Amino acid sequence: MSGQEILAIPEVAGLDAKSGLVRIPPELDVPLTDRVRAVIDTPEFRRLARISQLGLVSLVYPAALHTRFEHSLGVYRLALLLLKQLAYHSRFTQLVGAEEAELLIAAALLHDIGHWPFCHLIEEMHLPGAATHELFAHRFLLETELADVLREQWRLNPQEIASLLSGAGEEPGRRLLASILSGPIDIDKMDYLFRDSLHAGVPYGRNYDQQRLIGSLCLNAEGDGLAITDKGKTAAEMLIFARYVMFSEVYWHHGVRSATAMLQRAFFLMYPKLDLDRLFRLSETEMIQQLQAAAGQSPAGQLLEGLFGPRRRLYKRLAQVSFLDARPLYQRLAHRPYGWHVACAETLAHLLSQRLRQPVQPEEILVDAPPVKKETPLLVDVWRRKEQQYQPLSQASPVAQALAPEQFDDYVKRVRVFGHPRLLPLITMPHLVQDLLAEAADQVD
């Protein structure tokens, strides 16, 4: 298979075009062919323009209002750049022809099609009966106008796109495509780190050489995933560090996690009575309105009012437990089911009521902790040309070794206790909440 067939794909060739482009930040031109326009003009894709990429992060970083629509275009553009790079690699073109490359392009454009507002914070709760965004992606790909566009204008089977997005497939070529979409170094990660950093107004996610990293991409020894040449080692190290700092300073910023804990507890109180299938198909504004209407003046409604009402009222941090400073307690609390954390928070509220000698309502205390599922590790091999051998980046790099997969979550995430703002002046004794938190964990266990 010749790489020229991949380079001749209209979208890949469009990277060098002077027209038929749409611009996204920061001054990036994205080629739009007729069949790409047909996809992004479907109702299923247009809804992504009404869903923010970072949700509650904008309560702390006010400019972080970019959408999943913009991010999807960014990922699609990176897919084209990777194909243009790998079209010159014979091992890649032996596995991936023009038809598979077009499948990757469509999948990259549609990789977020199943997401709903506040998707990840709801999914990390693992609530019984709540659908996953993968299930919604299948529905949108197979049962809507989007499926007709893919069949008629792309000559692609929507089921194959759905399978690729879910990571299914035993053939090395399909595993390779899946790793480009979601793997150690993937186009989703490369775009969201850069784009989230840009819109949040922080430098952390942009401090890696994206062009150098893409230029160093090659195939791993098995041929079913990406690796990098030794020229890309520093760029990969910087990507790992960019991810570390973005989690530490943005995604797990204490204010962001306070808002997250508030929305999660409100949703936990309400979800058995909600029509989740209908709710998850709404835009962000519509979903917020539906949740507030359903909650009314209940405790869930008061939590939502603090997030989406006329005056922001985030819960305050009463205690923080980290892996490095209080490892035994952290390990007891982290990676537990969400329902366990709710029970722990309610028990802690009862203990605080006794200690403060005044009522503390169950919903006035929130325990926020790393969820059960951990982040995907960045395990990538480095092709050392002189030695003609592959070496794991974790062995070749002190940065990657320091942020090893088993340590990443614990280094960037904290266990935190958040309380209603009225409680903060009442907590005058150092370590009171942390000590009572340990007691609450004993009682729940």
Whether the predicted pLDDT of 100 surpasses 80: yes
Share of the chain above pLDDT 90, in %: 85
Whether the predicted pLDDT of 30 surpasses 70: yes
d(CA 7, CA 12): 6
Whether the predicted pLDDT of 406 surpasses 80: no
Which residues, at least 6 apart from 296, have a Cβ–Cβ distance to it below 8 Å?
A: none
Both tokens of 145, joined, read 């106008």
Output the average pLDDT for the chain: 94
CB distance 370 to 413 below 8 Å? yes
Average pLDDT over residues 208-229: 94
Residue 129 pLDDT class (50, 70, 90 cuts): confident
Phi and psi at 365, nearest 5°, equal -125, 130
Show me where the domains of the chain are located.
Answer: 3-252+381-396, 254-373+411-444
Whether the predicted pLDDT of 350 surpasses 80: yes
CB distance 228 to 200 below 8 Å? no
Residue 3 pLDDT class (50, 70, 90 cuts): confident
Q: Which of 197, 245, 201, 183 is nearest to 74 (CA)?
A: 197
Residue 41 pLDDT class (50, 70, 90 cuts): very high
Average pLDDT over residues 17-36: 95
CB distance 325 to 294 below 8 Å? no
The per-residue pLDDT for 342 is 98
d(CA 246, CA 299): 32
CB distance 233 to 90 below 8 Å? no
DSSP β-ladder status, 389-392 and 226-229: unpaired
Place of tokens 């780190």: 193
Using CA of residue 243, residue 246, residue 252, residue 258, what is the dihedral sign?
negative
Q: Which of 57, 229, 68, 212 is nearest to 133 (CA)?
A: 68
Average pLDDT over residues 333-362: 97
Residue 1 pLDDT class (50, 70, 90 cuts): low
- What CATH architecture is 3-252+381-396? Orthogonal Bundle (1.10)
Q: Which of 412, 324, 402 is nearest to 374 (CA)?
A: 412
Average pLDDT over residues 382-389: 93
- The predicted-structure confidence for 368-382, as pLDDT tens digits, reads as follows 999 998 887 788 999
Determine which of 131-140, 194-203, 231-240 has the lowest per-residue pLDDT on average: 131-140
The per-residue pLDDT for 62 is 97
Side chain identity, residue 66? H
The per-residue pLDDT for 144 is 87
Average pLDDT over residues 312-337: 96
- The predicted-structure confidence for 262-314, as pLDDT tens digits, reads as follows 999 999 999 999 999 999 999 999 999 999 999 999 999 999 999 999 999 99
d(CA 109, CA 104): 9
d(CA 110, CA 150): 11
Average pLDDT over residues 316-344: 96
Using CA of residue 84, residue 166, residue 337, residue 125, what is the dihedral sign?
positive
The per-residue pLDDT for 168 is 66
